[in-house]
Amino acid sequence: MLLAIDSGNTNTVFAVFDGATVVAEWRSSTRADRTADEYGVWLGQLMALKGLTPADITEAIIASVVPASLFDLKTLCRAYFGVDPLIVGTPGVDLGIDILMDRPEEVGADRLVNAVGAHIEYGGPLIVVDFGTATTFDVVDRDGNYLGGAIAPGPNLSLQALHTAAAQLPRVAVGRPPSVIGKATVSAMRSGIYWGYVSLIEGMVRRIAEEAGEPMRVIATGGLASLFGEGTEAIDHYDPDLTLKGLREIHRRNTAT
pLDDT tens, position by position, 150-199:
999 988 888 888 878 887 788 888 889 989 999 888 899 899 999 999 99
Bond from prior residue into 125 cis (ω within 30 degrees of 0): yes
CA torsion sign for 60, 10, 98, 200 is: positive
Q: Has 221 been labeled as part of a binding site?
A: no
Q: What pLDDT, on the 0 to 100 scale, is given for residue 127?
A: 98
Q: Has 133 been labeled as part of a binding site?
A: yes
Residue 57, pLDDT above cutoff 90: yes
Q: Has 111 been labeled as part of a binding site?
A: yes
| 89 vs 199, more confident | 199
Residue 23, pLDDT above cutoff 80: yes
Residue 246, pLDDT above cutoff 90: yes
Residue 256, pLDDT above cutoff 80: no
Weakest mean pLDDT among 51-55, 82-86, 164-168? 164-168
102, exposed or middle or buried, with CB in 10 Å at 0-12, 13-18, 19+? exposed
Q: Has 11 been labeled as part of a binding site?
A: yes
Q: What pLDDT, on the 0 to 100 scale, is given for residue 91?
A: 87
Per-residue pLDDT, averaged over 3-16, amounts to 93
Domain annotation for the chain: domains and CATH numbers = 2-87 (3.30.420.40), 104-246 (3.30.420.40)
Q: Has 10 been labeled as part of a binding site?
A: yes
Per-residue pLDDT, averaged over 198-212, amounts to 96
Percent of the chain whose predicted confidence (pLDDT) is above 90: 76
Note whether 128 and 138 are within 8 A (CB). yes
Residue 257, pLDDT above cutoff 70: no
Q: What pLDDT, on the 0 to 100 scale, is given for residue 158?
A: 84
Q: Has 94 been labeled as part of a binding site?
A: no
Q: What pLDDT, on the 0 to 100 scale, is given for residue 213?
A: 93
Q: What pLDDT, on the 0 to 100 scale, is given for residue 149?
A: 95
Residues annotated as catalytic are 110
pTM over 0.75: yes
Mean of the per-residue pLDDT values of the chain: 92
- b/e code 58-91 from CB counts within 10 Å (16+ = b): ebbbbbbbeeebbebbbbbbeebbebebbbbbee
| DSSP-derived pairing of the beta strands 126-131 and 86-87 | unpaired
- Plot region of 30 (φ>0 → left; ψ -120 to 50 → alpha; else → beta): beta
Q: Has 254 been labeled as part of a binding site?
A: no
Q: What pLDDT, on the 0 to 100 scale, is given for residue 156?
A: 86
What is the tens place of the pLDDT at every residue in 124-158?
899 999 998 899 999 999 999 999 999 999 888 88
